Amino acid sequence: MPEPASPRPRYEEDAAVAKIFAELKPRDRALLWLAYVEGESHEEIASSLGVGRRGVKVMLFRARRRLRDLLQARGLLVN
């Protein structure tokens, strides 16, 4: 029976995710960063990016989907 593949070291995985994050469009990166790293509300994000408050929810949904698709394509996220 073959040996199980050893998991990737954490720093390699972090670097791979950072590289994929950098591939996103600037607006997608900004949306995700402000929402999930800075913890800003939709209203704060709208103000920061100069977009409508109601549009932020839709834009965040699409940005998350694009990031998910990239992570899955690179094998860093399992469905």
pLDDT in tens, 53-64: 999 999 999 999
| Domain span including residue 63 | 26-79
The CA-based dihedral angle spanning residues 52, 54, 58, 60, taken in that order and rounded to the nearest 10 degrees: 70
User: What is the predicted pLDDT for the residue at 7?
Assistant: 61
pLDDT tens sequence across 7-60: 666 667 788 889 999 999 999 999 999 999 999 999 999 999 999 999 999 999
Assigned domain for 4 exists: no
Residue 20 lies in a domain: no
User: Is there a domain that residue 19 lies in?
Assistant: no
pTM for this structure?
Answer: 0.79
Domain containing 40 — which CATH number? Answer: 1.10.10.10
In a domain, 12, yes or no: no
Domain assignment present for 11: no
As for how many domains the chain has, the answer is: 1
If phi > 0 it is left, if psi is from -120 to 50 it is alpha, else beta; for residue 37 that is alpha
Residue 21 lies in a domain: no
